[in-house]
Amino acid sequence: MFKDIILGYYRSPSMGKKIQDYKRKLKNDLKWWIFNIFAIIFVFFTIFLTNILPSKTISNNIVKKTSFNPNLTYTVKSTAKHPLQPKDIISYTLTVTNNSKKVQDSNFEVNISDILEYANLLDGGDYKIKDGIIYWNNSSIEPGESKSKFFAIEIKDRIPTLKQQGESFDCFIKLNFGEVSKTPIKCPFIKKIDYFLNSIPTLEQYTILLFLIVLFSISIVMALRTNLLYKEIRYFSQYSGEMK
C-alpha cells in the first residue's frame, strides 16, 4: 500500500488526504504493537517471578493426626463469611457428640499447621499447643452429650507469597476435625498466578511460555516494520508539502 500511495501521489496530487489517513493508521498500529509488547513482557515476567517465589521447606516428618473415636461425632464450624483479609479475626467451634450408650473420653485435638501459614492464634483459649497441634485436657462425655471447644485466629498483617507446594500456601486455610472446614484467603495478585500455574500441567506451562515468546517476536517485528513505514510516510508527507 505504501508504494501505491507514493506512485499515486505523483500521478494525482489529490491523494494527499489518503496519505494523511495512512499515516494516522500507521501511528495507531504502532501504538497497538507497542502495547502488545509491554503486555507480553508483563505476563512473561509475572509467570517468571511466580516460579522463583521463595519456597518454604516442608518437613518430611510424619504429621501427627487426630485419632477419631468411632463412637463420637466430630464437627467443626467457623465464623468466616467471606475470603479472609489481613487482620480479620475468626473463631472455630469444635464439637464432639457421644452417640454411644457408654461414657466416652473426649479427645479434642486438631492439627492447625495449615492455618498457621496465614494466621496467628489469639490468646485467651484454654488449649495447649505443640508442633502445630492444639489440644485440650481429656474429659468424659455422657451418652447423648455434646461438648465444644473454641479457639480464635487473626490473619497476619501481610499475606505470605511463598510458592505453593501441594496444599501448602494455596490461599486456603483448612481444618480437619472429622469434617473439613476450608476458607479462602484473599491473596495478592502474584499468588493468583501461582495458583493458576499449579493447576495446569508443567508441559502446558512451557507451551504457554513458548507461545508468549513467539507472540513477542512477532510483535517486535511488526512494531519495527510499522515504525519504519511511519517514518517514511511522515518524511514523504513533509517533503511533498515543501514541494507544493
pLDDT score of 198: 64
Q: Check whether residue 16 and residue 85 sit in a common domain.
A: no
Decide if pLDDT at 146 tops 80: yes
The domain in which residue 212 lies consists of 2-51+199-243
Which pLDDT band holds residue 52 (cuts at 50, 70, 90)?
very low
Domain-embedded: residue 181: no
- Please count the structural domains in the chain: 2
Rg, the chain, Cα only: 32
Q: Check whether residue 46 and residue 87 sit in a common domain.
A: no
Question: pLDDT tens digits, residue range 174-186?
Answer: 999 988 999 999 9
Q: Check whether residue 44 and residue 90 sit in a common domain.
A: no
Domain-embedded: residue 174: no
Q: Check whether residue 208 and residue 137 sit in a common domain.
A: no
Domain-embedded: residue 171: no
Burial 79-117 (b: 16+ CB within 10 A, else e): ebeeebeeebebebebbbbbeeeeebebbbbbbbebbeb
Question: pLDDT tens digits, residue range 7-22?
Answer: 555 455 555 666 677 7
Q: Check whether residue 100 and residue 142 sit in a common domain.
A: yes
Domain-embedded: residue 56: no
Which pLDDT band holds residue 57 (cuts at 50, 70, 90)?
very low
Determine contact, residues 207/66, Cβ cutoff 8 Å: no
Question: pLDDT tens digits, residue range 71-109?
Answer: 899 999 999 999 999 999 999 999 999 999 999 988 899
Least trusted range by pLDDT, from 26-30, 201-205, 222-226: 201-205
